[in-house]
Chains A and B, each alone.
Chain A
Amino acid sequence: MKNGSPRGFTRRSFLKGAGVGAAALGLAGAGTMLSADGWLSPAEATAEPSEHVAYLCHQFHCLSGCNLKCTVRDGRIVKIEPNDACREEDQRICLRGIAEVQHVYATDRLQTPLKRVGERGEGRFESITWDEAIKTVADNLKACQEKYGETGVFIRKSTEASVANGIEWLNMLLRAESGGNWGLDRGSTNGLVPGVGLMPHLYKRPMTEWPQAKTILMVGHNLCESGMTFSKYMFAAQEAGAKVIVVDPRFSVTAQKADQWIPITPGTDPALMLGVVAEIVSNGWYDTDFMTANTSFPFLVDRETGKVFSDETAPLQQVDKKTGALVDVKDPVQKKVVYPPYVYDSATGAKALYNADGVSPTLEGEWTIDGKQVVTEFTLLKEWIAKEGYSAEWAAAETGIDADVIRTLADEYANNGPAYIDFGLGGPDKYYNADVLGHAMGIATALTGNYGKPGAGLGFFGGIEPYPAANVVPWKIPDEFVPGDTGVAMYEFPDMGASCPVHAALTFGDCFTLEAANANKFLEWVKTLDFFAICDIYHSSVVDYADIVLPACTKFECDEAIHHLRESMGYVSLATKAIDPLFDSKPDLQIERMIAAEWGRDIYMPKSYSEYAHHLLDGASGNVEGISVEKILANQGVWRIGGQDQAVPPSQVYGTPTTKFEVYYQNLVDQGHAFPVYERAVESYPDNPKRAQYPFQFMQGKTRFRIHAYYSASNWFREYMDPSVNISPADAKRLGIRTNDDVRVYNDRGEFVARALVNPSIMEGTLFMAETTYNHYYKKGFLQNVTNDARNQRCYEMKHGPQILYNDTLVNIEKA
């Protein structure tokens, strides 16, 4: 045979797939069904391969939403690359987009509807027809609704980059409970909402302004791995002269690329930021003009009650943007009316409303007014720092960072601006004290004025940019259909006993092990459900617990020529079909329609992706004027939303009731947290007696090889990565652990076995593991078995409620 033969269809593996049609699937046993070998659809045996190109917007849980171009040859996906109809700047891709060439066909694909035949968790199934599967799901959900009401049913699409193309129909149409607060990625955000308004992690200015900064402080954010496609802006900033400083307990890729890496004792980030705040204040490095004009620092507080001294005769009002009418302002967390605060007007020597014309607020001082002892928030801040004893030295003792390093950090942040604080949504966000960190970062920002202008800011950067929303025509369903809301968060279900509102569940993707900690406990609760069905693409960690399994197809597969329409990162993107659904899988829209039809409610949904796209685009206007299905298809499935090219003007209007940067949280006065008060991690604090048994701090974080657990099944990635625990050389030596040894990681909650990697990047006393991998790739257990499910009660007073404390976890490790 000629070595360099042209491509043909002579290979044995091709023949294996031939002749297997969907009709044969129902006969297959569960064992063979879990392997994709031999199930690939046969190609046309033509001499000339036929190619076509499809377009799609890839994932959204990586926060990159890359628009991709996919070449299909003879019915198989062969090539994936950036969509070159986007601006060059926006042509993005990463290894996960590329590796879909294999991952779409991975052996973990769920192939047919399945019915459980063994015990829950055992993973024994037999294949059934779609009709039987849908009927079983509907019968069971209806039985549950009858017995417990509509909110007895739980329906949610998970964070897994999966079937969820962005819209959740069924929780609305069936008025199902959808599990309230996520408990994920909102730890620091909780502590910032009262300061700057809703969604404070989403900064309102673009990352393209990073090169205008002089100092960029990244707190627990591994941008160069978790936000690969946006790390180019960090490099551009460095090349323009910015100093990038990374705080991370681990020598992450971003720490490696930084101009300065500050290793920190895990879970002590709030102490570092409080040290920075204290140094800014004690050295006078704050910006009094900014503080006076744009923050609540001059507001007066009643010493006795701790409440903001306000004019209680008339609530604060704002012009409603939609109606133009004056309406009462509500605070973003409690939704209560707010009264306008007083300041001390230096011109008149008397109290004045903070927003009175010509008022000249005083930043520091204490007065007796109306028989009350009142003091400015800034004076209170100074007292509070003195009382708590915060300083660089204090923070050094807690964080393990040199006091001089902390002082220099404060100096550079305050005096070498403009400056950013960029915080990660993992790392420090997943400890008990994350809200304290958020609040402290807010105060550092309010003191220095690093907000609302090019080259300065505070938030999470790396994917979620302030893109305009497209003026498309939204799909409406009747108002009567809204998700049920019992006010309970999903992560609380297992602790509720008989009072748990939920008795049956239908999840799209794995919610139960990706959005909760302490998996053993959570899965015990799942076992008690009257019914549990999952719709998923892959055999994810929770599939074995389901009664019915519905196989969805990937974003590359569709049963019609055009696929999902969505907005992504400044574009409207209309996906086209790359290939037919593999095996007996279906697009999630069709699966949701089939289920909704059992209630006669499919009539409220689009019949097809095509109908949906036409509805949204026919009649679209404004910033997408002129768009149509035909035109977007002619432009490779993408359409850039208009109005993005003007520079964002600087702004000092905050999303708070007063529109100022508020630093003092009066709703937390009773809890002693009006200003951020340091507290330690709840489990992994240094002198926890549990450390005698479980001396290691266990951390997890993002890896380039996953989006949550998605891509666990990628055989291309399995050549690089399997479930493995990174341990420091010193600890490994002491325990006789070597790279590639199997190790057992355990605590009271559970255990797992993975491979050890002895890695100098890891701090002694800590372990690091990439989040996460389907449980069947482990020798035993999986990482969520050990994670901490404690909750911070204080956070019930906050916008996003208690967060899941994945990193606030102690374990022990030994050779397996």
Chain B
Amino acid sequence: MTRLAIAINMHRCIGCQTCSNACKMENNVPMGMLWTRTIAENCDVTDGAVGEFPNLTRTYLPMACQHCENPACQKVCPTGATYKDDMGRVEIDYDKCIGCRMCMAACPYNVRVFNWNDPNRDPDFNYGDKDVPVRSKGVMEKCTLCKERTDRGEEPMCVVCCPTKARIYGDLDDPNSEISQIKRQRSVRILLEERGTKPQVFYFE
């Protein structure tokens, strides 16, 4: 089997938002929506900090679909639009999506974005990969792990563009892959592990 995933080196992540913009470009993501966002954890302003000067910490957390082994979104989807594919990715069949937004409410990571209106693109044409399907009003979308790229054997765009090489992409079912080794050897952080969603995406120091 194949379980594709991304591991994020939290020390190397500089919160630059390159991944977010690379993803937006590659996947034709409209204005006001992002499939991956880099937040400063527990901060309410960009590049804020936690604590009192000078005893401060800041943790950047790039947040996108965690491609869970046990996806909460899939369980609640009434039409089967959200599915786990044979590469271990959580995907959406846009044709089956009826826009009920049950998945959005169920996702503990709040990484799904919904086309409440006709998508507003700036520039006002379809940018990104020509194989990425266009989504319309009433449809849910989120990180596909760059399905069209990874199907072609390429790395996800966020991984290609990350200037610090903080993002490691690979197959967790291949014990020799870099990502598997990191998972075994490093101190790993899984987001909201207690929810039992079993994210494939993980963070490490």
Q: Are B18 and A98 in contact (CB-based, < 8 A)?
A: yes
Instruction: Decide if B24 is an interface residue (CB 8 Å cutoff).
Output: yes
A757 and B58 in contact, given A3-B135, A13-B124, A257-B11 (Cβ under 8 angstroms): no
Q: Are A78 and B126 in contact (CB-based, < 8 A)?
A: yes
Contact pattern, B 40-55, Cβ under 8 Å of A = 1, otherwise 0: 0000111111111110
A228 and B56 in contact, given A81-B157, A757-B45 (Cβ under 8 angstroms): no
Q: Are B94 and A78 in contact (CB-based, < 8 A)?
A: no
Other-chain contact of A101, B20, B127, B136 (Cβ < 8 Å): B127
Other-chain contact of A761, B14, B53, B139 (Cβ < 8 Å): B53
Binding stretch for chain A, among B102-110, B161-169, B173-181: B161-169
Contact pattern, A 479-501, Cβ under 8 Å of B = 1, otherwise 0: 00000000000000000000000
Q: Are B54 and A40 in contact (CB-based, < 8 A)?
A: no
Q: Are A224 and B22 in contact (CB-based, < 8 A)?
A: no
Contacts of A1 in B (CB 8 A): 136
Instruction: Decide if B150 is an interface residue (CB 8 Å cutoff).
Output: no
15 CB < 8 A contacts A-B = A13-B125, A79-B128, A93-B18, A98-B161, A105-B123, A228-B14, A235-B11, A251-B58, A256-B49, A257-B14, A716-B24, A726-B45, A760-B51, A763-B54, A764-B53
Which A positions have Cβ atoms within 8 angstroms of B?
1-7, 11, 13-14, 16, 40, 43, 49, 51, 73, 76-82, 92-95, 98-99, 101-102, 104-105, 224-225, 228-229, 231-232, 235, 238, 251, 253, 256-257, 261, 263, 704, 715-716, 719-721, 726, 728-729, 739, 757-764
Q: Are B45 and A758 in contact (CB-based, < 8 A)?
A: yes
Q: Are A762 and B45 in contact (CB-based, < 8 A)?
A: no
Residue of B nearest to A66 (CB): B163
Q: Are A232 and B164 in contact (CB-based, < 8 A)?
A: yes
Q: Are A5 and B134 in contact (CB-based, < 8 A)?
A: yes
Which B positions have Cβ atoms within 8 angstroms of A?
11-12, 14-18, 20-22, 24-26, 31-32, 44-54, 56-58, 93-95, 97, 121-130, 133-136, 138-139, 157, 160-161, 163-165
A251 and B49 in contact, given A99-B21, A225-B16, A739-B44 (Cβ under 8 angstroms): yes
- Say what secondary structure dominates the interface of chain B: loop
CB of B128, distance to nearest CB on chain A (Å): 6
Which of B48, B93, B95, B129 has most A Cβ within 10 Å? B48
Bound CA span A7–B57, Å: 45
The 5 closest A-B pairs by CB, nearest first: A13-B124, A4-B94, A4-B133, A105-B123, A3-B94
Bound CA span A556–B106, Å: 43
CB of B189, distance to nearest CB on chain A (Å): 17
Residue of B nearest to A77 (CB): B127
Bound CA span A225–B17, Å: 11
A94 and B18 in contact, given A102-B122, A229-B163, A251-B53 (Cβ under 8 angstroms): yes
Q: Are A40 and B47 in contact (CB-based, < 8 A)?
A: no
Q: Are B58 and A720 in contact (CB-based, < 8 A)?
A: no
Contacts of B48 in A (CB 8 A): 757, 759-761
Q: Are A3 and B125 in contact (CB-based, < 8 A)?
A: no
Bound CA span A732–B203, Å: 34
Q: Are A7 and B130 in contact (CB-based, < 8 A)?
A: yes
Bound CA span A728–B49, Å: 11
Residue of A nearest to B129 (CB): A79
CB of A27, distance to nearest CB on chain B (Å): 23
A231 and B163 in contact, given A5-B136, A720-B46 (Cβ under 8 angstroms): yes
Residue of B nearest to A10 (CB): B134
Q: Are A94 and B127 in contact (CB-based, < 8 A)?
A: no
Contacts of B31 in A (CB 8 A): 715, 719
Contacts of B136 in A (CB 8 A): 1, 3, 5
Q: Are B14 and A101 in contact (CB-based, < 8 A)?
A: no
Q: Are B53 and A49 in contact (CB-based, < 8 A)?
A: no
Bound CA span A78–B25, Å: 7
Bound CA span A76–B204, Å: 39
Q: Are A80 and B25 in contact (CB-based, < 8 A)?
A: yes
Bound CA span A1–B46, Å: 39
Contacts of B164 in A (CB 8 A): 228, 231-232, 235
Other-chain contact of A721, B46, B50, B163 (Cβ < 8 Å): B46
Q: Are A253 and B135 in contact (CB-based, < 8 A)?
A: no
Q: Are B16 and A95 in contact (CB-based, < 8 A)?
A: yes
CB of A765, distance to nearest CB on chain B (Å): 11
Bound CA span A40–B125, Å: 10
Contacts of A253 in B (CB 8 A): 14-15, 47, 58
